[in-house]
Amino acid sequence: MKTLIINYKAYKEAFINGLNIAEYSNELSKTSGVSIIVSPPFTILRDTAKITKTIAQGMNEVDPGAFTGHVTWFELKQAAVAGTLLNHSENRYTSSKNGQLDYVAIKIAVDKCTAAGLETYVCVQNMDEAKEILKMNPTGIAYEPPELIGGDISVSNSKPDIVKEFCRLIKDNSNSLALIGAGIKGKEDAEKSVELGSDGLLVASGILKTNDYKSVINDLVEGLSK
């Protein structure tokens, strides 16, 4: 079964259309054979979780306690969400010491989620990061080249060779889903991603920044179902 993750980011539209997008995703998931997951801002997580499969946009790797402004696995469980994105390009696990990606912290976060029965979708920017993350056995690994995020050129069109290599790497070396995202807008992008070996997509602006989100979701689901 292919997966479509709709990342609402912090767009204003998340609060205007967010619950309707969740309703529509729920309906379409039942009939299409594509698993559609929504990832709204924290303040409406509980609302969408009552409607459809929902994941958070991120989580801190700490346990419940004196951590002002942090979000723990326990809070996500309390909100009845299914899991979380981790290490999205706009919210990376970088070390405050050297600015490098903090793989130890990511692994702690993945392990805490797994122990709590939460799914984990970890974003990576390149193959080197993918090689490290696949050892952690998350539910999914999403390749998103940062320069294409929010634009009109899709990752599947712009980087077919890397996408193919990424999907092969994940499939040959792990049980994680190989997902891709960035600039995905329509059916052709979705079809191409499947051709290249992907298990699904992460999409944000293509759905959030249009009034006709239903037809975009339909197109993506059709493309993923080919």
CB 155 within 8 A of CB 192: no
Q: Does 178 bind ligand G3P (CB under 6 A)?
A: no
Residue 64, token pair as written in the block: 């419940």
Among residues 61, 119, 129, 144, which one is catalytic? 144
DSSP β-bridge partners for residue 120: 84
Smallest separation (angstroms) from ligand G3P to the CB of 89: 6
Binding mask 83-122 for ligand G3P (x = CB under 6 A): -----x----------------------------------
Alpha-carbon distance of 20 to 91, in angstroms, equals 26
Q: 10 Å Cβ neighbour count for 28?
A: 19
Residue 50, token pair as written in the block: 């009552």
- The only residue of 7, 72, 87, 125 in contact with ligand G3P, by rule CB under 6 A: 7
Kind and range of the H or E element at 83? strand 83-86
Q: Does 48 bind ligand G3P (CB under 6 A)?
A: no
Q: 29 or 156, CB closer to ligand G3P?
A: 156
Whether 144 is a known active-site residue: answer yes
Walk across the sheet containing 83-86 and list its strands.
Answer: 35-39, 3-7, 200-203, 177-181, 140-143, 119-124, 83-86, 55-56
Alpha-carbon distance of 86 to 108, in angstroms, equals 11
Q: 110 or 148, CB closer to ligand G3P?
A: 148
Q: Does 58 bind ligand G3P (CB under 6 A)?
A: no
The residue nearest ligand G3P at its CB is 205
* Best CA proximity match to 60, nearest among 99, 100, 110: 110
Cβ burial of 215 (10 Å; 0-12, 13-18, 19+) is: exposed
- The only residue of 40, 83, 200, 206 in contact with ligand G3P, by rule CB under 6 A: 206
Smallest separation (angstroms) from ligand G3P to the CB of 84: 12
Measured at the CA of 110, the angle between CA 107 and CA 113, to 5 degrees, comes to 145
Binding mask 127-156 for ligand G3P (x = CB under 6 A): -----------------x----xx------
**Binding-site residue total for ligand G3P (CB under 6 A)?**
14
Contact segment (CB under 6 A) with ligand G3P among 45-53, 63-71, 74-82, 176-184 equals 176-184
- The only residue of 166, 205, 216, 220 in contact with ligand G3P, by rule CB under 6 A: 205
- Any idea which residues carry the catalytic annotation? 88, 144
- Please report, as ranges, the residues that interact with ligand G3P according to CB under 6 A: 7, 88, 144, 149-150, 181-184, 202-206
